[in-house]
Amino acid sequence: MPNFKRAVQDKLGYLPVLNEIDMVLVGPNGCLCAIEVKYYKVNGGSFNRPFYDGIGQSLSLMRYGFDSVALWHFFAPEVEQARLDRYGAGAWWFLRNQTRIPLDFSYFRVGGTEAEPIFIVLQYTTQDKGADLLPIDDDNFVITFKNQNPFRDTIEGRYLRKELAKAFGIQEIVSE
């Protein structure tokens, strides 16, 4: 996004580090939400990444003025339920109940086939257990964000949000 980089460099005098953004969701009234995605599979008996993977990247997205930022962990079909819960419910518990970081978190079991994958949303019930909710494409499933980004209304956050919306071609409605 060369126009974004140039505008930010010109305005701020420097270019803040921006990691890649896996997903941007545009909601009602121009609401902008960013999602960092990590995929977990088992290699040689262990997960391919630590349970906390993606937290730093998600936090860095907050500086860009998104309304909310989320981290989503997807688990390969071969991951047994107990391991999935230990990582997924454990990360959720850590973020929501122990650190209280204003970061949304969800975890998913991947099923189906490569041609027709199914993504089942899970809900933690305790710090090491979870329960299936719905497939992500179910008509009753609605993506929600519970935590507002605390950097959304900073001077830098407002400016970077405006420039990102422009770079993505998103018409945003912002109350000034």
- Residue 140 domain flag: yes
- Residue 39 domain flag: yes
- Give the predicted TM-score (pTM) of the model: 0.87
What's the token pair of residue 152?
């959304």
- Residue 5 domain flag: no
What residues make up the domain containing 82? 20-150
The residue assigned the tokens 């991947």 is 110
CATH code of the domain containing 91: 3.40.1350
Please write the tens of the pLDDT for every residue from 23-47. Answer: 999 887 778 999 999 999 998 888 8
Please write the tens of the pLDDT for every residue from 141-171. Answer: 888 899 999 999 999 999 999 998 888 888 7
Total of domains in the chain: 1
Alpha-carbon distance of 10 to 135, in angstroms, equals 45
- Residue 175 domain flag: no
Alpha-carbon distance of 86 to 79, in angstroms, equals 11
- Residue 66 domain flag: yes
- Residue 107 domain flag: yes
Q: So what's the pLDDT on residue 173?
A: 52
- Residue 6 domain flag: no
Q: So what's the pLDDT on residue 35?
A: 96
